[in-house]
Amino acid sequence: MGTGTATIELEDLDHCDLFFLIGANPSSNHPRLLTKLKNIRRRGGKVIVINPVVEKGLVEFRVPSDPMSLLFGSKIASDYVQVRPGGDLALFSGLAKTILDKGQIDSDFIESATEGFDNFKESIQELSWGDIELGSGLSRQEIESVGQQYIGAQNVVFGWCMGITHHAHGTASVQSIVNLALLRGMVGKKHAGLLPIRGHSNVQGMGSMAVTPALKTAVFDRLATEGVSVPTMTGHDTMACIKAAEKNEMDFAFCLGGNLYGSNPDSTATAAALSKIETIIYASTALNTGHAWGTGKETIILPVLARDEEKQSTTQESMFSFVRLSDGGINRHQNLRSEVEVISEIASRVLGNDELFNWGELEDHNSIRKIISRIIPGYESMENMGDTKEEFHIPGRILHAPTFPTESGKAKFIYHPIPNLEPLKEGEFQLISVRSEGQFNTVVYEDDDIYRGQDRRDVVLMNKDDMVRMGFIKDDRVTVKNRTGTIHPILARPFNIKQGTVLMYYPEVNSLVSQEVDPLSRTPGFKSTLVRISAS
């Protein structure tokens, strides 16, 4: 596709008649999106939710800004498809097979705007329905029913989140969603397209600022014109940093926010790796588990202002590629400084100031924005944003015409074989890790999860038939373990979840998650870890 962001604008959802919501729970994390989904249902459209877990807010939701919805609730899912964890790729392959078998492709679009279709078509047609059913955990009839709904829709939007990306084949699953959209020309046109649902207002913005595995050539070139010599050696992503520390190849770590211990899989191995680093500096807004178990031989914690306490204005990039200015925050702590101020002073003391790097000037957010406007393509309008306070949309992101930002100008079909074709063994389950309602990233503010009706976090939520088969009743104490770790005792509780699947809370569950990562995105597989459960 040539892009990693949404191909649509918010207004496109007002004309969408089918929305695929895949591996996401916006009722908890993106409630504003629920208003759009409610409106799709009200005007006769459909919302197909694909998720192993039945989340209450995706079945029905009360939108506070709508009196009727607030009083009586709004139906969200028109069809709830409980796929096997990690089985989305198999489902998408089955949907593609259905569309091909019924001859319901957009041949003109495929011929003029895509490449790789013939190889993709041949590979899909060779798939057996047996493998598709095993890999997805769904019957052929269920898949073909979804396929018929897709065929009958005119404007389709595909939205997904970490339920898709948190697998060892996450990138392949995203590319399979793109394949499905390309088959019917549902990208590169108005009112239809692709919508990765971002988990944080600045996750997408960080990527735009070149916090990516590889810098874009244009960023390299513009940095060079500013006199900056950029290192060309291969750097480390998060998991590679942990591996490097494990091998004593890292002696210093400066962590800006975040919680490396809490956010990484295999807690035991992560803590051991971090303990080998000579010096770790944390710039943190609050104490977290990393400050206790993610320490180096020497650890320094620098308290900094949170985003809503920043004295200066800040910018955020939305999932629809709008860049907006936020005013300075509340003046709550007189003795704290912002991350920018801390970094600038450290750099000034260590490196000194010169004509190229005047670190003192870079304490001013307006100065940083002016540099961004010169370095980052599409961000030219940021130069005077601190004065004008005008938001802008990053050009080239919306794809309303069938021309794509690739070398050929065409979108590419990419086939991937179906993973996870081994049936589960007796006592074996696929574990999904999730955050609770009262949680922000790795920071837990309260034990209650009101959306899932849970009053504590030391629980494993199971399919009720699985509990009966295992001889468990509600709140039985059980042990959950695998080759990576063990958690016990923990309470087993029934929940509306796909049979063979269990759900536990993150980051506590990280002691069970292995360090296997997606080879393309380097994202760990938090959503389909194999575990065994037994009575404690």
> Tens digits of per-residue pLDDT, 88-141?
999 999 999 999 999 999 999 999 999 999 999 999 999 999 999 999 999 999
Distance, in Å, from the CA atom of 254 to the CA atom of 466, rounded to the nearest integer, reads: 45
Residue 35 or residue 71, greater confidence: 35
Q: Domain total for the chain?
A: 3
Residue 421, domain member (yes or no): no
Do 99 and 183 fall into the same domain?
yes
Crossing angle for the helix pair 88-101 and 170-183, to the nearest 10 degrees: 20
83 has pLDDT over 80: yes
Do 250 and 356 fall into the same domain?
yes
64 has pLDDT over 70: yes
Point out the least confidently predicted range of 307-321, 460-474, 509-523.
Answer: 307-321
Give the CATH number of the domain where residue 504 resides.
Answer: 2.40.40.20
Q: What is the pTM of this model?
A: 0.93
Do 498 and 531 fall into the same domain?
yes
> Tens digits of per-residue pLDDT, 411-450?
999 999 999 888 899 889 999 999 998 887 788 888 899 8
Please say which residue of 169, 196, 223 terminates a domain: 196
Query: Confidence band (pLDDT; 50, 70, 90) for 504?
Result: very high
> Tens digits of per-residue pLDDT, 174-232?
999 999 999 999 999 999 999 999 866 567 777 888 777 667 788 889 998 988 888 87
Task: Provide the pLDDT for residue 328.
Answer: 78
- In the chain, the percentage of residues whose pLDDT exceeds 70 is 99
Determine the structural domain holding residue 437 and report its residue range: 428-535
Distance, in Å, from the CA atom of 151 to the CA atom of 145, rounded to the nearest integer, reads: 10
Task: Provide the pLDDT for residue 65.
Answer: 81
Task: Provide the pLDDT for residue 201.
Answer: 57
**Peptide linkage before 489 cis (omega within 30 of 0):** yes
Burial of 111 (0-12, 13-18, 19+ CB in 10 A): exposed
Residue 211, domain member (yes or no): yes
Residue 276 or residue 357, greater confidence: 276
Task: Indicate the average pLDDT of the chain.
Answer: 92
Residue 401, domain member (yes or no): no
Q: Which residues contact 318 (CB under 8 A, 6 or more apart)?
A: 201, 204, 324
Residue 273, domain member (yes or no): yes
- The residues facing 504 across adjacent strands are 433
Residue 231 or residue 519, greater confidence: 519
Residue 352, domain member (yes or no): yes
Residue 165, domain member (yes or no): yes
Do 222 and 371 fall into the same domain?
yes
Shortest CA distance to 509 belongs to which of 496, 534, 490, 494?
Answer: 490
Do 230 and 341 fall into the same domain?
yes
Do 253 and 366 fall into the same domain?
yes
Please say which residue of 196, 211, 236 terminates a domain: 196
Distance, in Å, from the CA atom of 183 to the CA atom of 211, rounded to the nearest integer, reads: 32
Instruction: Please identify which residue in the block is written with the tokens 């046109």.
Output: 189
Report CA-CA distances (Å) from 384 to 1, 226, 328, 379, 500.
32, 19, 17, 11, 55
Distance, in Å, from the CA atom of 493 to the CA atom of 462, rounded to the nearest integer, reads: 6
Do 138 and 218 fall into the same domain?
no
Distance, in Å, from the CA atom of 143 to the CA atom of 46, rounded to the nearest integer, reads: 16
Distance, in Å, from the CA atom of 269 to the CA atom of 37, rounded to the nearest integer, reads: 42
Instruction: Please identify which residue in the block is written with the tokens 């900056």.
Output: 228
Distance, in Å, from the CA atom of 524 to the CA atom of 165, rounded to the nearest integer, reads: 9
Residue 416, domain member (yes or no): no
As given in the structure block, the two tokens for residue 467 are 């509990």
Distance, in Å, from the CA atom of 198 to the CA atom of 438, rounded to the nearest integer, reads: 18
Residue 251, domain member (yes or no): yes
Task: Provide the pLDDT for residue 213.
Answer: 64
> Tens digits of per-residue pLDDT, 327-375?
877 777 778 999 999 999 999 999 888 877 889 899 999 999 999 999 9
Task: Provide the pLDDT for residue 433.
Answer: 95
As given in the structure block, the two tokens for residue 32 are 């504003």
Task: Provide the pLDDT for residue 311.
Answer: 87
Do 231 and 186 fall into the same domain?
no
Shortest CA distance to 458 belongs to which of 466, 447, 468, 450?
Answer: 447
Pairing mode of beta strands 114-115, 529-535: unpaired
Q: Which helix (H) or strand (E) holds 465?
A: helix 464-470
Task: Provide the pLDDT for residue 298.
Answer: 97
Task: Provide the pLDDT for residue 94.
Answer: 98
Do 273 and 339 fall into the same domain?
yes
Give the CATH number of the domain where residue 301 resides.
Answer: 3.40.50.740
Please say which residue of 173, 196, 219 terminates a domain: 196
Distance, in Å, from the CA atom of 508 to the CA atom of 531, rounded to the nearest integer, reads: 15
Extract long-range pairs of 381-384: CB within 8 Å, 24+ residues apart. 381/323, 382/315, 382/323
Three-state DSSP string of 475-497 = CEEEEEECCCCEEEEEEEEEECE
Do 496 and 518 fall into the same domain?
yes
29 has pLDDT over 80: no
- H-type alpha helices, 43-169: 56-59, 67-72, 88-101, 107-113, 117-126, 129-136, 140-151, 162-165
Do 502 and 468 fall into the same domain?
yes
Distance, in Å, from the CA atom of 111 to the CA atom of 106, rounded to the nearest integer, reads: 9
468 has pLDDT over 70: yes
Please count the residues of the chain: 536
Task: Provide the pLDDT for residue 251.
Answer: 96
Do 186 and 61 fall into the same domain?
yes
